[in-house]
């Protein structure tokens, strides 16, 4: 997977955090790929084969797949905390 980081004013127009889970749903449905950092670890989330895939950055063997953004938010957990519960604590790196 290749990640291209935008260096345009459009990228800087977006905040680097989310206030609500709905903001994440809107972004993933619009951009179909984003990366974020949480607890010092970077992750990439992307649509692949009609599923939402997430992996730790540069660790393709850590890939997990989910049926939808909602499924991801409820079932992707880090240290027993689900994404929907730490969404406001992530740093959005690339949309």
pLDDT in tens, 13-71: 566 999 999 999 999 999 999 999 999 999 999 988 889 999 999 998 999 999 999 99
Q: Classify residue 11: in a domain, yes or no.
A: no
Q: Classify residue 12: in a domain, yes or no.
A: no
Q: Classify residue 6: in a domain, yes or no.
A: no
pLDDT score recorded for residue 17:
93
* Burial class for 78, CB neighbours closer than 10 Å (0-12, 13-18, 19+): middle
Longest dimension (CA), the chain: 37
pTM comes to: 0.81
Q: Classify residue 10: in a domain, yes or no.
A: no
Say how many domains are in the chain: 1
Q: Classify residue 42: in a domain, yes or no.
A: yes
pLDDT score recorded for residue 1:
52
Nearest to 47 by CA among 25, 61, 68: 68
Count of all residues that appear for the chain in the document? 95
Q: Classify residue 4: in a domain, yes or no.
A: no
């Amino acid at each position: 997977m290749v990640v291209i980081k935008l260096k345009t004013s459009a990228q800087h127009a977006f905040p680097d955090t989310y206030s609500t889970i709905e903001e994440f749903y809107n972004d993933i449905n619009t951009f179909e790929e984003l990366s974020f950092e949480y607890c010092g670890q970077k992750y990439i989330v992307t649509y692949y084969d009609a599923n939402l895939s997430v992996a730790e950055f540069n660790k393709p063997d850590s890939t997990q797949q989910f049926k939808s953004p909602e499924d991801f938010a409820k079932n992707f957990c880090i240290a027993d905390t689900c994404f929907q519960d730490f969404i406001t604590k992530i740093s959005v790196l690339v949309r």
